[in-house]
Amino acid sequence: MRRGERRVRLAAINKRNNPKKLHMKIKRISQLILFVTLLGLALPARGDTMSVPSKEKPAFTVDIPATWKPKGDANDESVEAAQADNKAYLVAWVTKASDEKALTKDLEATLKDALKSIDGEPKTEETTENGAKVLVITGNGTDKRAGNKVHFLVGIFETGPDQVGVVYTDVDADAPADTMKTLQGILNSIKVVKK
């Protein structure tokens, strides 16, 4: 091997093993690992797809994290779930659309059971989730059992001829932001079952 060729080879080896490049590679790998970890934490936990009112005759489905321990009640034709630390609660059911009195009675009973009082006037808006038009009622109140301030949301949407789905949620006013994100993910997962 000639002297010139040896210098070129040594230069190439030094270039590959350059401490600055090695440091940059390690830094890039560290950043990638951090990114993947944060992405994994940001994604909602794997959940259970619950059918409302029942698996046998679903009107709509909703994805609820398994840690919320969702339970279907065949007698009541509803699904209920709560976050492990009870910072958030959800209940979903169906009722006849033509029976406004029954729907109003259901909502009043749910609000009365969950809230000691409602602060101010609730707000209403219409939105679309997975192709279904949803009437959303939001407000604030005081939790009946714990006595703390909560935000509540009621979603009402058509699930078929003469039938509507209702989803009620409340979350503690001081709940962490990730609880609100999880709850929003649950609400975004609602899908009316095509018949």
Residues contacting 40, CB < 8 A, separation 6+: none
Residues contacting 187, CB < 8 A, separation 6+: 129, 153, 155, 167, 169
- Per-domain residue ranges of the chain: 3-42, 47-192
Q: Please state whether the predicted TM-score (pTM) of the whole model is above 0.95.
A: no
Say yes or no: domain 47-192 is CATH 3.40.50.300.
no
Task: Print pLDDT tens along the chain (195 aa).
Answer: 555 555 555 455 555 555 555 555 555 655 545 444 444 444 444 568 899 988 888 999 999 999 999 999 888 889 999 998 889 999 999 988 776 677 778 777 888 888 888 898 889 899 888 888 888 888 999 988 888 899 988 888 999 888 899 999 999 999 988 888 888 888 889 999 987
